[in-house]
C-alpha cells in the first residue's frame, strides 16, 4: 500500500499565509505523510493544483511539540521556513491552549510563542556565518561576495544572498533572482534578497525564493537581511522589515533571531482522490 492509498477519501489540508507567503499544511501526526517530491510539485501548481510557496507536513516528534517537513513548490525540500513555522506554531498553540511551544525543523528545535495583537514570534536560531555551512563553493568574504553588486551571504538553515540596492522597486526580481539562485558559488542554490535601507531601524525587502520564485514575504530571508545589514554597519540588530506582503519585526538577540508578525488562516480543503490518482 502506498502512502496515498492510506487516504481513500482524499488528503485534508489547511491553507495559511504569513504576509502573503502562503502555505499548504498537512497533518500527518496520526498517519504516514502522503507527500513525495512529485505530489508536492503537483499540489504547488497554482492552476492545476492548490498553489503555495511552501508545503508543510506536520509529524510527531520526541524532541518537540511537533516536527515540520518543508517542501518547495518545485518539489525540493528545505530545512527552514520562518513564516510557515509561525503559522504552524499558531495552530499547535490554539489546539492545545498554549502560549509557547517548540518546533523541530531541519534547522534544529525552534521556540515559538504568542505575542501581542495576536502576532506569533519564533526564534529562528543563530545565523550560519561560516562559508561551508551556508554553504558556499569556496571560502570568500561573506559580506562582499565576488558577484556583481557585491552581495552578502548568510545561512538561516537555508542559504541567502543579500543585495543592497538604491530602490528595490526598480529591480528585475525574477530575471536577476533566478540567475543568482543558480549561481555556481551556491552548490545548493540560494534564496535571493534585494534590500533598500530606509534608516537604521527600517529596511525594505523583496525576495526571490529558492525553489519557489518571487514571494510576497520570506521570514528566514528577513532574518538573513537583518544579519547582513547589521554586519555591513547599515542598521541596528532590531529592525522592521517591509516586504511586499506586509511587515515583520526582527530582533537579533543573544539566544537567536526572533521574528514576529501576523499569521492568517485562509481555508480547509481536501485533495481529492481524483487529483491524487493523477499524480501517482
Res. 165: pLDDT tops 50: yes
Residue 4 has pLDDT above 70, yes or no: no
Residue 7 has pLDDT above 80, yes or no: no
Active site members: 81, 218
Distance CA 8, CA 118 (A): 37
Res 167 pLDDT > 70: yes
Share of the chain above pLDDT 90, in %: 92
Q: Indicate the average pLDDT of the chain.
A: 95
3 state DSSP class of 41: helix
pLDDT in tens, 195-231: 999 999 999 999 999 999 999 999 999 999 999 999 9
Q: Which of 27, 24, 32, 26 is nearest to 6 (CA)?
A: 32
To 10 degrees, what angle do helices 219-231 and 82-96 make? 130
Q: What is the CATH number of domain 152-254?
A: 3.10.310.10
Confidence of residue 1 (pLDDT cuts 50, 70, 90): very low
141 within 8 A of 129, measured Cβ to Cβ: no
Cα gap 87→265, rounded to integer Å: 8
CATH architecture of 4-124+263-278: Roll (3.10)
pTM comes to 0.93
Confidence at residue 277, expressed as pLDDT on a 0 to 100 scale: 86
In this prediction, residues 179-197 reach a mean pLDDT of 98
Q: For 16-48, what is each residue's pLDDT tens digit?
A: 999 999 999 999 999 999 999 999 999 999 999
- What is the location of CATH 3.10.310.10 in the chain? 4-124+263-278, 152-254
Query: What is the average per-residue pLDDT within 222-243?
Result: 98
Amino acid at each position: 500500500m502506498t502512502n496515498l492509498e492510506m487516504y481513500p477519501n482524499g488528503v485534508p489540508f489547511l491553507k495559511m499565509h504569513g504576509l502573503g507567503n502562503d502555505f499548504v499544511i498537512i497533518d500527518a501526526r496520526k498517519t504516514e505523510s502522503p507527500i513525495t517530491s512529485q505530489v508536492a510539485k503537483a499540489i504547488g501548481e497554482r492552476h492545476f493544483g492548490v498553489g503555495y510557496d511552501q508545503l508543510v507536513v506536520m509529524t510527531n516528534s520526541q524532541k518537540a511539540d511537533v516536527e515540520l517537513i518543508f517542501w518547495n513548490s518545485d518539489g525540493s525540500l528545505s530545512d527552514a521556513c520562518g513564516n510557515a513555522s509561525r503559522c504552524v506554531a499558531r495552530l499547535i498553540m490554539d489546539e492545545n491552549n498554549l502560549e509557547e511551544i517548540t518546533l523541530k525543523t531541519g534547522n534544529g528545535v525552534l521556540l515559538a510563542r504568542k505575542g501581542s495583537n495576536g502576532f506569533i514570534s519564533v526564534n529562528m536560531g543563530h545565523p550560519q556565518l561560516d562559508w561551508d555551512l551556508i554553504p558556499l563553493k569556496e571560502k570568500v568574504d561573506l559580506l562582499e561576495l565576488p558577484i556583481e553588486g557585491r552581495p552578502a551571504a548568510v545561512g538561516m538553515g537555508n542559504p541567502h544572498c543579500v543585495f543592497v540596492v538604491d530602490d528595490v522597486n526598480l529591480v528585475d526580481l525574477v530575471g536577476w533572482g533566478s540567475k543568482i539562485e543558480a549561481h555556481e558559488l551556491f552548490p545548493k542554490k540560494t534564496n535571493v534578497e534585494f534590500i533598500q535601507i530606509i534608516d537604521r531601524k527600517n529596511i525594505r525587502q523583496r525576495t526571490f525564493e529558492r525553489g519557489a520564485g518571487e514571494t510576497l514575504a520570506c521570514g528566514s530571508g528577513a532574518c538573513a537581511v537583518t544579519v547582513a545589514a547589521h554586519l555591513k554597519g547599515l542598521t541596528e540588530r532590531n529592525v522592521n522589515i517591509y516586504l511586499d506582503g506586509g511587515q515583520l519585526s526582527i530582533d537579533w538577540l543573544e539566544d537567536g533571531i526572533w521574528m514576529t508578525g501576523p499569521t492568517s488562516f485562509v481555508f480547509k480543503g481536501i485533495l481529492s482522490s481524483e487529483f491524487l490518482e493523477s499524480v501517482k
